[in-house]
C-alpha cells in the first residue's frame, strides 16, 4: 500500500508540556486520511493535522454511519515505542463497519498506516508513568445526499492525542434503571458513534447527582448489569471473577476486558462470564462477602469503583482491600510500559 506523506513544517510540541496532559484535547502534528470511492480505498495520505472541508449534506452527519476505535501507544524508559494489541482493534473496527453497512478497511491501511503515522509522530508519545498516546481511527459516510440508505463514499482517518491518567480517583457509580444503552439486536456490541450520543442524557443526570458514571442495566427488566459508561465492568465476589457475557450482543467486547480475563485467570482466579443481577450483588454486599468492583477500557485501563448507588441503597467498597484488582492494574500497566515480560505478545513494536 502506497502511503503519500507530506510533513508538517515545524512541530506543535514545542509549545506543549506532555506531563499530566488531559484526555483528548491535544492532537499530534499529523493525521492519516483515506477515501473509499467507486468500491475501493484510495488516496491514502499522511498529512499535517488540519480541518476537513466537507459538504453540509454528508450522510454521516444526518444518518449516523460513523464508527471509531480507541488504542494506546506507549514509550518505555529506553525510548522504544509500542502499541497495545492493535490487531484486536483492527478486527473490531471491521465488525463495526459490517454492522453499520460500511465497507471494511484492509489491514495495510489500518495497521501499516497507523504504524507509519505513529512512527512520524513518535515524539508525541509521552514517556511518563500512566501516560500514553491515544490513537483514534474512525470512518464516516461522505455521500453528499440526504436519504436514509448506505453511503457509497466514506472517509477513514487516524488522529493521535497524547494523554495522561484518565480518572485519578476511584469512581462513584449510579445504577441506571430507566434509560438504556443497548438492547439485543441493536448496535451495542460495536463502536458506532450514535451509541455515545444516546448515552449522554442519563450520564449527565447521574453527574448532577454527584456520580462519575452510570452502570447500565439490561433493556428488558433493568435487572442485570451491563456496562459502566463506555467501559466493561468486573466484580470479584469471594475470589470469583464475574463479568457480563457477550451473548446478547449488548456489550462491547473490550480489548481491556479480554486482557483482564486472561490475566485474572493466570492469577488463578475462576472467571464467570454470565448474566449478573443487581440482586446478586446486593445479596453479596449484605452478607458481608468480599467484593472488588472495577471497570476496564482503553482510556481508563483499570479504574476502581468505591461506591454503587441503586435506587436509595448505597454500597460502599473498601478499595484498599481490592487485592486482585490492584494486582491486575499493576500487571497490565507493567506490560504496557514494558516493565515486565510480555508473555502474551500483546505489545506491537513500532
Ligand atoms: C470502547 C468501549 C469499551 C472498552 O473497550 P476497550 O477495547 O477495552 O477499549 C467498553 N464499552 C464500550 C461501550 C466501549 O465503547
Q: Is 203 in the pocket of ligand 1 (CB under 6 A)?
A: no
Q: Cα separation of 324 and 243, whole Å?
A: 15
Q: Is 254 in the pocket of ligand 1 (CB under 6 A)?
A: yes
Q: Is 298 in the pocket of ligand 1 (CB under 6 A)?
A: yes
Whole-number Å distance, alpha carbon 299 to ligand 1 midpoint, is 8
The 10s digit of each residue's pLDDT in 58-73 is: 999 999 999 999 999 9
Whole-number Å distance, alpha carbon 127 to ligand 1 midpoint, is 24
Show the domains of the chain with their CATH numbers. Answer: 4-165 (3.30.470.10), 171-336 (3.20.10.10)
Spatial contact of 49 and 31, defined as CB atoms under 8 Å apart:
yes
The 10s digit of each residue's pLDDT in 248-306 is: 999 999 999 999 999 999 999 999 999 999 999 999 999 999 999 999 999 889 999 99
Q: Is 86 in the pocket of ligand 1 (CB under 6 A)?
A: no
Whole-number Å distance, alpha carbon 302 to ligand 1 midpoint, is 12
pLDDT for 15 equals: 85
The 10s digit of each residue's pLDDT in 212-225 is: 999 999 999 999 99
Average pLDDT taken over every residue of the chain:
96
What is the pTM for the complete model shown?
0.96
Spatial contact of 194 and 149, defined as CB atoms under 8 Å apart:
no
Whole-number Å distance, alpha carbon 93 to ligand 1 midpoint, is 12
Give the DSSP letter of residue 320: G
pLDDT for 167 equals: 65
Name the H helices within 187-231. Answer: 193-208
Residues of the chain whose pLDDT is less than 70? 167
Whole-number Å distance, alpha carbon 254 to ligand 1 midpoint, is 5
Q: Is 188 in the pocket of ligand 1 (CB under 6 A)?
A: no
Whole-number Å distance, alpha carbon 297 to ligand 1 midpoint, is 5
Pocket test for ligand 1, best of 83, 92, 231, 243 (most atoms within 8 A of CB): 231
**In degrees to the nearest 10, what's the CA dihedral of 333, 161, 86, 298?**
50
What's the angle, vertex CA 136, arms to CA 130 and CA 140, rounded to 5? Answer: 160
Q: Cα separation of 143 and 228, whole Å?
A: 34
pLDDT for 20 equals: 82
Among protein residues, the one with the nearest Cα to ligand 1's atom 6 is 254
Dmax over CA atoms of the chain, in Å, equals 63
Amino acid at each position: 500500500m502506497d502511503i503519500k506523506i507530506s510533513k508538517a513544517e515545524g512541530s506543535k510540541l514545542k509549545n506543549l508540556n506532555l506531563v499530566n496532559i488531559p484526555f483528548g484535547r491535544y492532537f499530534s502534528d499529523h493525521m492519516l486520511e483515506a477515501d473509499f470511492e467507486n468500491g475501493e480505498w484510495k488516496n491514502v495520505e499522511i498529512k499535517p493535522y488540519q480541518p476537513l472541508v466537507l459538504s453540509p449534506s454528508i450522510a454521516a452527519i444526518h444518518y449516523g454511519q460513523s464508527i471509531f476505535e480507541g488504542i494506546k501507544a506507549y514509550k518505555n524508559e529506553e525510548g522504544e515505542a509500542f502499541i497495545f494489541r492493535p490487531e484486536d482493534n483492527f478486527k473490531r473496527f471491521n465488525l463495526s463497519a459490517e454492522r453499520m453497512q460500511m465497507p471494511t478497511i484492509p489491514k495495510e491501511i489500518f495497521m501499516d498506516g497507523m504504524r507509519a503515522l505513529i512512527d512520524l509522530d513518535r515524539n508525541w508519545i509521552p514517556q511518563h508513568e500512566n501516560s500514553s498516546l491515544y490513537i483514534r481511527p474512525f470512518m464516516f459516510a461522505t455521500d453528499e445526499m440526504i436519504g436514509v440508505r448506505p453511503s457509497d463514499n466514506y472517509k477513514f482517518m487516524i488522529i493521535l492525542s497524547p494523554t495522561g491518567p484518565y480518572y485519578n480517583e476511584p469512581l462513584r457509580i449510579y445504577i441506571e434503571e430507566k434509560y438504556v444503552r443497548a438492547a439485543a439486536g441493536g448496535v451495542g456490541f460495536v463502536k458506532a458513534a450514535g451509541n455515545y450520543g444516546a448515552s449522554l442524557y442519563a450520564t449527565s443526570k447521574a453527574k448532577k447527582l454527584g456520580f462519575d458514571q452510570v452502570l447500565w442495566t439490561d433493556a428488558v427488566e433493568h435487572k442485570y448489569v451491563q456496562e459502566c459508561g463506555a467501559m466493561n465492568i468486573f466484580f470479584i465476589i469471594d475470589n470469583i471473577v464475574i463479568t457480563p457475557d457477550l451473548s446478547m450482543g449488548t456489550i462491547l467486547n473490550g480489548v481491556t476486558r479480554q486482557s483482564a480475563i486472561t490475566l485474572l485467570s493466570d492469577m488463578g482466579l475462576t472467571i464467570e462470564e454470565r448474566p449478573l443481577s443487581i440482586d446478586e450483588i446486593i445479596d453479596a454486599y449484605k452478607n458481608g462477602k468480599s467484593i472488588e468492583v472495577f471497570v476496564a477500557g482503553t482510556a481508563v485501563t483499570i479504574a476502581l469503583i468505591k461506591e454503587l448507588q441503586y435506587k436509595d441503597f448505597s454500597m460502599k467498597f473498601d478499595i484498599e482491600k481490592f487485592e486482585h484488582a490492584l494486582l491486575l492494574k499493576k500487571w497490565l500497566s507493567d506490560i504496557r510500559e514494558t516493565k515486565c515480560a510480555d508473555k502474551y505478545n500483546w505489545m506491537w513494536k513500532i
